[in-house]
Structures are given as structure tokens and as C-alpha cells.
């Protein structure tokens, strides 16, 4: 399980404009990316084989980020913002604006999966 609060992983899709999540097996993905929350953990625990499309439509406080937003947040995955590296990719810190309180900044960690940015 990759998700934890304000920590997330993703990879670039071939022609999609949103990040993918990697959940449980880290090889299953959907074309949207979410911040983590307790709801997601509960949802996955309730299902051995989650339906990711339904997950996308499930009422929750999950936030969807576009590729552009995550690039902006991490200054295009700037090397100086790298905070770690796992078996599936490098992790970068970044900052996003709170949707509820636009003057508030939220520290995030974002993983760029190995093989990302492939044509
Ligand atoms: N939220 C976070 N805050 C600070 N550092 C983090 C955060 N998430 C990851 N890191 C750093 O990035 C490193 C790699 O994290 P990652 O989640 O990729 O580990 P992993 O689960 O072993 O990787 P993988 O799933 O790719 O095998 C961590 O050891 C840590 O140093």
C-alpha cells in the first residue's frame, strides 16, 4: 500500500493528463490521482479487488491532482526537492494550495514512478 496522508505515488500515463495511483500491488493503476485519507484505507480494506472506476466516483474528501499541478508543486520534480527513493521511483517534496483555505500551503510528497515521462 503506497498511500499515506499527504504522501502519494504516481506515474505518467501515455496520453492522459492526470497521474495514476498505484494501490496494493503497485502495478494496478487508474487515470486519476488522489491524496490519501482514512476513507481510502477503509475502502481498500473492505474489498480484496477494488473497482477503481467506482472508487473515482465514490464520495470522499480525496483530492484529484493533474500532472500540471504536481509538476508545479514540485517545480517539475526538481532534483533539489528529492527527499527519498523507493523501489518504484523517486519521491519529491512539494507544496500545494489548500482548496478550503487558499492562503494555506500544504506540504506534500509525490513519487515519480520509474519509467515516468516515457513517450
Ligand atoms: N511523506 C513523506 N515525507 C517524507 N519523506 C518521505 C515521504 N514519503 C516518502 N519519503 C521518503 O522517500 C523514501 C521512499 O519512500 P517510498 O514510499 O518510495 O518507499 P517504498 O515504499 O520503499 O518505495 P516503493 O513503494 O517504491 O518500493 C522514504 O524512505 C522517505 O525517505
84 lines ligand 1 (CB under 6 A): yes
Per-residue pLDDT at 36 exceeds 60: no
Alpha carbon of 4 to those of 36, 115, 119: distances in Å? Answer: 5, 22, 29
pLDDT for res 83 = 97
Cα 34 to middle of ligand 1, angstroms: 17
8 Cα to the center of ligand 1, angstroms: 9
Beta carbon of 90 within 6 Å of any ligand 1 atom: no
In whole angstroms, what is the distance from residue 6 CA to residue 113 CA?
Answer: 17
Instruction: Give the model's confidence band at 38: pLDDT under 50 very low, under 70 low, under 90 confident, else very high.
Output: very low
How many CB atoms lie under 10 A from the CB of residue 1? 13
> 97: annotated binding-site residue?
no
What DSSP assignment string belongs to 95-111? EEE-SSSTT-EEEEEEE
Report whether residue 89 contacts ligand 1, using a CB cutoff of 6 Å.
yes
pLDDT of residue 16: 35
111 pocket-lining for ligand 1 (C-beta < 6 Å): yes
Q: What is the pLDDT of residue 59?
A: 75
Instruction: Write out pLDDT tens, residues 63-102.
Output: 888 889 999 999 999 999 999 999 999 999 999 999 889 8
Amino acid at each position: 500500500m503506497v498511500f499515506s496522508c499527504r504522501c502519494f505515488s504516481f506515474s505518467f500515463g501515455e496520453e492522459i493528463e492526470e497521474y495514476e495511483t498505484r494501490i496494493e500491488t503497485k502495478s494496478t493503476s487508474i487515470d486519476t490521482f488522489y491524496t490519501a485519507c482514512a476513507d481510502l484505507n477503509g475502502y481498500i480494506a473492505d474489498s480484496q479487488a477494488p473497482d477503481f472506476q467506482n472508487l473515482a466516483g465514490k464520495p470522499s474528501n480525496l483530492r484529484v491532482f493533474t500532472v500540471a499541478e504536481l509538476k508545479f508543486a514540485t517545480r517539475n520534480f526538481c532534483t533539489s526537492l528529492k527527499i527519498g527513493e523507493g523501489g518504484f521511483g523517486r519521491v519529491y517534496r512539494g507544496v500545494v494550495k489548500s482548496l478550503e483555505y487558499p492562503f494555506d500551503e500544504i506540504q506534500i510528497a509525490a513519487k515519480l514512478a520509474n519509467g515516468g515521462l516515457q513517450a
